[in-house]
Amino acid sequence: MLCNKCLSISPFGGQKSLELDLFGLFSNRKGQRAGAARRPMANVVGAPSGDLAESGIVTDATVYWNLDNMTLIDLAVEREEGFLTSDGALVTETGERTGRSPNDKFIVDEPTTNQDVNWGDVNISTDKAVFDRLKIQVIDYLSQRNSLFVQDLYCGAEESEALPIRVINQNAWHNAFARNMFVRPSSEQLKTHAPQFTVYHAPHFEASDNSLNSQCFVIVNYELGEVIIGGTRYAGEIKKSIFSVMNLILPKKGILPMHCSANTNGENTAIFFGLSGTGKTTLSADPKRALIGDDEHGWGANGVFNFEGGCYAKLINLSEEDEPEIFATTQQKGTVLENIVVDSNGVPDFFDTSKTQNTRGSYPIEAIENRTMDSKGGHPQNVIFLTCDAFGVLPPISRLTPSQAAYHFISGYTAKVAGTEIGVTEPQATFSACFGEPFMPMHPGVYADLLSSKMAEHGSTAWLINTGWSGGSYGVGSRMKIKYTRAMLNAALDGDLDNVEYVVDDRFGFEVPKTCPGVPSDVLIPKQTWEDESVYDATADKLASMFNENFERYAAGVSDEVNSAAPIVA
């Protein structure tokens, strides 16, 4: 039985209606099927808060509007889009593309934002004609489906900054994903909901257009307030496209958008920056601290607020012992599992990566019991940069000066280990500005300046935590034990490292504590964990040189003080 309700606890009160012409380029196009008398009538199920004609879609399909994720998952199983585990989670597959497609992401070069975008290899431009042409094809494709799924949602838990969005999906499971990931409005808010951005999601539509790099495309048009996605079933493209929008909108208001997780104990808030696989989601899920969110936040006048209404956790090697709260979310209905191998009894095997290393789970934030009820926190006292250093030379924890914090925020370092990708036979350094460069439309210096000013204003301390290797590089040393990482993190957050003795790392200039509660002292100084100190020195010089080479592209846009925080090659 289909649910006609869309009840949800919203982290904020009412939302002022914003009027927009979402018909955009379709309002005067020849052949537009406008006018109620000529328009086919869709069979609407659920709680509609608009008309698809507002989004340019004219259809007589069954439109499932604002259904809860439980009902959507039932529909996904009924439509054979996936199957349930023994615990009732939905298992889906994304096909050939099991992650983002950065070479297929484009931003329309248009006059309202082209001076704001940091154009280049990351923010790739396309023109209006390409967008218009592909949007017509996507609209026609969606209009011909037998059924469509629509969610009217918000991005942002801070009422004054919440972006009203509409997501139109071809598949029920992608619609459940969208409902999990964004902020769910109350029934009262739906009465005045007016989308400022609309996502047209056609994962099975493959383009044939010489202006593209493949059959896949993700294109953002800021002027029209629209995103079109085709040729990829990887659900992360839906959420990341809207977060990229926030990352251009908010800095203009003096608000720092951040690719980070965040938690709080009510008096002490911490934010965690880190690329995929560094422990961002894992370390922010702490039984002693309430989760604010696991991936995307803003830092505004009132403190930190979550962009999301859920979590999109990486599940590789997930165990109940190491990550009990996240593990528990995989054992309940409402969770969507991507590319997970399941045995004949319906039990997921999170250690089987035969489909992809990038296995994922999407669940509403209510699945985490230990969370803030309003998805907000105060101004952070601690800013944590996480890295998985597969070279094994960075300290497991170190304290940074303000200039070092800016340098390493812009650098955004982690390392890929051998075997994770074809051709990767030894550790490879990966640099992603602001720990989320693919999602940052503006120059990294804009975000770094905002971070520096907010840290200075609120007296925040910056820490670099290496969750990677110790005692040697990948293949020789071993990965840092998670219990040690948690002990170091807790010591930093609780102030237990404020008065201990520190030494300065010769190359990187970090302050490294000589002692930490719950951690063997010999683990804290990387060089002491290597059998051959000369090999350590050579490897450390190699990594320092990589940092310097990477930062050359940013050096002209930052202060002398930040440039002076670069590591020194011995």
Q: Centre a 10 Å sphere on the Cβ of residue 5 and count the other Cβ atoms it contains.
A: 12
Which residues fall within 8 angstroms of residue 344, CB to CB, at 6 or more apart? none
3-state SS, residue 542: helix
**Strand-pair partners of 557:** none
Q: Characterise 145 by phi-psi region: left (phi > 0), alpha (psi -120 to 50), beta (else).
A: beta
Which residues fall within 8 angstroms of residue 499, CB to CB, at 6 or more apart? none
- Active site includes 276? yes
How far is the C-alpha of 288 from the C-alpha of 491, rounded, in Å? 13
How far is the C-alpha of 138 from the C-alpha of 285, rounded, in Å? 39
How far is the C-alpha of 183 from the C-alpha of 165, rounded, in Å? 10
Catalytic residue among 174, 184, 240, 297: 240
**In terms of C-beta density within 10 A (0-12 exposed, 13-18 middle, 19 or more buried), how is residue 215 classed?**
middle
Catalytic residue among 97, 100, 408, 443: 100
* 408 touches 398 (CB < 8 A): no
- CB contact burial 243-261 (16+ within 10 A = b; e otherwise): bbbbbbbbbeeebbbbbbb
Q: What is the CA radius of gyration of the chain?
A: 24
- Active site includes 280? yes
How far is the C-alpha of 560 from the C-alpha of 562, rounded, in Å? 5
Catalytic residue among 104, 152, 295, 505: 295
Catalytic residue among 145, 259, 371, 399: 259
- Active site includes 360? yes
Give, for 106, the enclosing helix (H) or strand (E).
Answer: strand 105-108
Which residues fall within 8 angstroms of residue 9, CB to CB, at 6 or more apart? 184, 186, 366, 373
In this structure, what token pair is assigned to residue 458? 């609120």
Pairing mode, if any, of strands 269-273 and 256-264?
Answer: antiparallel
Residue 503 main-chain phi, psi, to 5 deg: -120, 155
How far is the C-alpha of 537 from the C-alpha of 553, rounded, in Å? 26
Determine the straight-line distance between the first and last CA of the chain, rounded to whole angstroms.
69
* 64 touches 172 (CB < 8 A): yes
In this structure, what token pair is assigned to residue 401? 């000066």
Catalytic residue among 276, 353, 356, 401: 276
Catalytic residue among 147, 281, 430, 470: 281
- Active site includes 100? yes
- Active site includes 281? yes
Catalytic residue among 174, 179, 233, 360: 360
Residue 152 main-chain phi, psi, to 5 deg: -105, 115
Cα–Cα nearest to 292, from 274, 305, 279: 305
Residue found under tokens 């720990």: 435
- CA diameter of the chain: 81
Catalytic residue among 135, 145, 233, 280: 280
Residues with active-site annotation:
100, 240, 259, 276, 280-281, 295, 360
